[in-house]
Amino acid sequence: MKKLILLGSVSVLLMNCNKKTETPAAKVQTDTVAVVEPVVDTLGPKSFCYMAVTGKDSVFASIDDNLGTITGKLAYKNSEKDSSKGDITGFKSGDTLKLTYEFQSEGTKSKRDIFFIQKDNTLTEGIGAHKEEDGQSKYADEKKITYKDGQKLEPADCKVVTKALK
């Protein structure tokens, strides 16, 4: 019986010694170059500059669009009429900029509605009858505003526009 126990113990010992210990495979690290693309801010304000020249008259606009809320500056420089310069505020509705123009002309502060259609990188000013309401000149009927004969402002260099707006 002792021989049998001794023989069984030796057998178990030999089987355990012959077992291969498995080692985990080494992780292979590859040399890769990370391509970092510039982050494009689609949520921040967008700035645009426009200009129109008709004969000796010109219009300059600097517009900041912050998710549809519009702010900026606008100046009409006329050769034979009164010029005006001031701030614009409003919002974008579809392709229409619905703005209030607060400006100085002949030493008097005034406010008036001014709408632009924004298509193909141009702004076209809306033409329509105005009425005086609460000290502000507003369009009499927004549905009767036409844009075909309005002044067309083309994209311009912001340095030139900013200089003209000073």
DSSP assignment, residue 146? B
- Domain borders along the chain are 48-165
Residues of the chain falling short of pLDDT 70: 1-45
The pLDDT assigned to 104 comes to: 84
Give the model's pLDDT for residue 111: 94
What six digits make up the tokens of 166? 């000073």
Quick one: pLDDT at residue 124?
95
The average confidence (pLDDT) of the chain is 83
pLDDT score, position 120: 87
Judge whether 116 and 102 are in contact, CB under 8 Å: no
pTM, whole model, 2 decimals? 0.70
What are the pLDDT digits (tens) for 8-24? Answer: 565 655 566 555 555 66
**HEC sequence for 111-130:** EEEEEEEEECCEEEECECCE
